[in-house]
Amino acid sequence: MTTPKTSPEVCGMGHSMKRKEDPRFIRGRGNYVDDIQLPGMLHMDIVRSPFAHAKIKSINTEKALKIPGVLAVITGETLAKYNLHWMPTLMSDTQMVLPTEKVMYQAQEVAAVIATDRYIAADGVEAVEVDYEPLPVVVDPFKALDPSAPVLRTDKKDKKDNRIFHWQAGDKAATDKAFADADVTVVQDMYLPRIHVASIETCGCVADFDRVTGKLTVYMTTQAPHAVRTVFALVAGHVGLSEEKIRIVSPDIGGGFGGKVPVYPGYVIATAASVVIGKPIKWVEDRMENLQADSFARDYHIHAELAAKKDGTMTALRIKTIADHGYTDAAANPSKFPAGLFSICTGSYALPNAFAEVDGVYTNKAPGGIAYRCSFRVTEAVHCIERITDVLAQELKMDPAELRMKNFIPPEKFPYKSALGWEYDSGNYPAALRKAMEMVGYEQLRKEQAEKRAKGELMGIGISSFTEIVGAGPSKNFDILGLKMFDSCEIRVHPTGKAIARFGTKSQGQGHETTYAQIVAEELGIPAAHVQVEEGDTDTAPYGLGTYASRSTPTAGAAGAMAARKIREKAKKIAAHLLECSPDDLVWETGKFSVKGAPGRSKSIQDIAFAAYTNHPQGMEAGLEAVSYYDPPNLTFPFGSYIAVVDIDRGTGAVKVRRFVAVDDCGNIINPMIVDGQIHGGLTMGLAPALLEEISYDDDGNITGGSFMDYLVPTAMETPAWETAKTVTPSPHHPFGAKGVGESATLGAPPAIANAVVDALSHLGVRHVDIPITPEKVWRLLKEKGLAE
């Protein structure tokens, strides 16, 4: 654990400071988009398609417009007049804002009703008459790639098939050779189903265009307000929206998890409506719209192969994946990474050869492929390597812990260059697994399992030893729509020694107001309680790329430290002036500069701040402030080892997670309590897809899993008591040795649980079960094996 260097009063790094934002939240004083009320505000509701693929023959708005209070119905034709009926996606594909010709998935936006009241808008939606002509539906991505499949993107004149991209990494020839030479090879198909972030707050906005000043303010649920401002300016510049007149405000956000990175059609329609009508327009989706139409995650069909020597030494990994993107590539990946950071799929192992390929495919489903609490397809990569590792252990009849220990990248080999090109910054994988095994009592559990098996009881132990990759930039490789991925911080120290720090990121519940204040406290010695943190308002915060993919600590957090260090440099000169000595004679110790050898002669940061405005050296600019735009030299590579213990009910097939031990390493920790909160939440969000959550479609493209009736989010009933611990392996390149942590648990938990279930059934010849591992799936397996009770 990171030992605090500052006093509890200063509350720098390593202190479990209570969250500064919580008094606001627990007293109901949060300020979410739906809390915003503006004078004259109108409301918008959206007409959505019941068909997955259909031609729009006509839209009749007459009846809707007759409803008292309905002021306008906006259709694709309305937006086409301003050339705003299509918009770019983050992957430079195109997405309909509203259709003019056909719909491409069930629940797609078809028209929008503007009314004086939310309920009247909903009545208006009911009254809009749309005449559809159904078209053939393509749901299965494998069938979509068949040459006989209808080409879905008829809007792209030269498109002759449904393939979006082919991406590959690694040395194919060397990998094929290693497979040919291998003693043992295993192969496993696995499917990571479509899931949804299902955050507590759905998406929405209040768009407010002031016709007199020409200023557009949009309060919206976005994780990346600055990028949205620039995209709005680029896409709508031709209708007079100029970037200095656009203000995007992300108020409090009730969970983002990657789902609030894309720009959804609703934001654009509400904004266009506000510009045309000249009044503020509020749009807030309901739960079913959120689940059915907002970006989904995963939907990866993975074919994985692993080669090894007889003794278990892994020699090569080969992966082929079909990625179902729905009707447009609206994934939220950095531009140059169509399959995100899937190439982290060699995981924690010293694999000398690897080759991975991914084909993105169009289908008649909602678009997406977002990084749901995951640094761009890393969850998919981790599931793949951790599952196939267990398949190999089963093939070799080796203990999965022993197999992992044998193949871990040795601690002394860091920085380590992986076969697929990443330079892992630091790691100590054996230490994390050893700690998890000790905590869970691994040897004893194996004995218990053998005893239970003899009695016909089903108990399994599953390990996942994952490596994450977080903190995009570096800007030389990472951009979103051309915007380089760095992040920023601006700190102003006031005369009385208090400070305001503004960041280019935006918390959605992660506790930035607290942890960022702790970073400033650590660097400057100003108590965290006296550092006001602000994010999310493009009129005031410095430009940054936002919060997702656990990037805040590695990028903006680093910028916070760098800005504080610039302030410290200036503070040193002011202290030298006050103490009448040379700056070289001064030493810094949290919160004050002292004269070397004369510790009594010192000036505190508060004295210095006051002097910066009242008694600064002549020739020096007054004030004490700095800004930093931090471009990380590399990503950070958090890791961990998780062990799940499950019991399976032979009567129902239900899986009960009896124990779950999570040992995480995110380098130096700013706030241990917040990190634990991140892990607890992440583990629950990992349990969810492992056992419960899935959005699927029938052959006609009808969604199942589009409401909370059948999209099962975990409750306290299904959630075990998580047992957590840490190891600390600092990042060598991060200014204070930290790595991101927000997503580790979400990606580490599902394979641990899946491995535990397969482990419980392995003696029956079961090698793999796709997630979600529902009671029905397990019960059918047990029935097949003659074990169902």
Residues that bind ligand CDP (CB under 6 A): 510-512, 515, 547, 550-553, 557, 666-671, 674-675, 678, 738-742
CA distance 459 to 649: 9
Residue pair 73/128 in contact by the 8 Å Cβ criterion: yes
Tell me the β-bridge partners of 700. Answer: none
DSSP 3-state of 280: coil
Comparing CB distances to ligand CDP, the nearer of 1 and 239 is 1
Comparing CB distances to ligand CDP, the nearer of 61 and 671 is 671
Query: Is 789 one of the annotated active-site residues of the chain?
Result: no
Residue pair 603/592 in contact by the 8 Å Cβ criterion: yes
What order do you get walking across the sheet with 499-503 strand by strand?
Answer: 531-535, 499-503, 487-493, 625-630
148's CB contacts (< 8 A; 6+ apart) are none
Comparing CB distances to ligand CDP, the nearer of 348 and 514 is 514
- CB 732 to ligand CDP: min, Å: 14
Catalytic residue among 374, 384, 489, 666: 374
- CB 343 to ligand CDP: min, Å: 21
CA distance 108 to 223: 23
- CB 542 to ligand CDP: min, Å: 17
- CB 228 to ligand CDP: min, Å: 17
CA distance 108 to 367: 10
Comparing CB distances to ligand CDP, the nearer of 583 and 732 is 732
Comparing CB distances to ligand CDP, the nearer of 84 and 635 is 635
DSSP 3-state of 448: helix
CA atoms within 13 A on the CB side of 622: 7
- CB 489 to ligand CDP: min, Å: 13
Query: Is 223 one of the annotated active-site residues of the chain?
Result: yes
72's CB contacts (< 8 A; 6+ apart) are 65, 113, 114, 273, 276, 277
Comparing CB distances to ligand CDP, the nearer of 292 and 684 is 684
CA distance 638 to 630: 20
Comparing CB distances to ligand CDP, the nearer of 490 and 535 is 535
Query: Is 373 one of the annotated active-site residues of the chain?
Result: yes
Query: Is 446 one of the annotated active-site residues of the chain?
Result: no
What order do you get walking across the sheet with 54-60 strand by strand?
Answer: 102-103, 54-60, 129-134
Catalytic residue among 194, 373, 404, 568: 373
CA distance 262 to 224: 9
Catalytic residue among 223, 292, 508, 510: 223
Residue pair 727/661 in contact by the 8 Å Cβ criterion: no
Comparing CB distances to ligand CDP, the nearer of 93 and 425 is 425
Tracing tokens 């053939």 back to the chain, one arrives at: 136
- CB 471 to ligand CDP: min, Å: 8
Exposed e or buried b per residue across 168-185, where buried means at least 16 C-beta atoms within 10 angstroms of its C-beta:
ebbbeeebeebbeebebb
Q: Are strands 368-370 and 296-308 parallel, antiparallel or unpaired?
A: parallel
- CB 675 to ligand CDP: min, Å: 5
- CB 637 to ligand CDP: min, Å: 12
Enumerate the active-site residues. 223, 373-374, 743
